[in-house]
Amino acid sequence: MRATIVGIPVLLMLTMFWNIAQSADPPPPQFPGPYPVELKVGEIFIVSKSIEIVSPVRFPICDDLKVVNVVDTPDGLAFKGIAPGKTLCSVASGATMSGGMGPRRVFAITVHEE
């Protein structure tokens, strides 16, 4: 009987700790596809200030550098609209615990004329 009385609070405490541990570090928001970005010619989209992504962002890749250019700003990596059109770009998020790159975030960038 005494083991049952002691066991129930211990089981409740373990359940509480498990729930707290599960909710301590929520996963980053997942987008169903490329993150949409609308720019005007000459406008700059600063990646690290625009969405939730682990800084520093590195290794940018763009399909069409005639539409956007990758620029470095004091606030971090950015995409600058060069000419009207559409392209896909991606960046790697900050380093992981193992020293590698984090996941890549893909952007669907549309540049409009001013």
The full set of domain ranges for the chain reads: 35-112
| pLDDT grade for 21, boundaries at 50, 70 and 90 | low
Q: Which residues fall within 8 angstroms of residue 20, CB to CB, at 6 or more apart?
A: none
Q: Please give the share of the chain, as a percent, with pLDDT higher than 90.
A: 37
Write down the pLDDT at residue 24.
54
Which residues are paired to 13 by β-bridges? none
Lowest-confidence pick of 29-33, 59-63, 86-90: 29-33
Q: Which residue has the tokens 């625009």?
A: 50
CB of 48 closer than 8 Å to CB of 75: yes
- Rounded to whole angstroms, the Cα distance separating 53 from 21 reads 22
CATH of domain 35-112: 2.60.40.1080
Q: What mean pLDDT is predicted for residues 4-30?
A: 67
Rounded Cα gap, residues 86 and 63, in angstroms: 9
Burial category of 53 from C-beta neighbours within 10 Å (exposed 0-12, middle 13-18, buried 19 and up): buried
- Answer yes or no: is pLDDT of 20 > 80: no
- Share of the chain residues as helix, strand and coil, in percent rounded to the nearest 5: 25, 40, 40
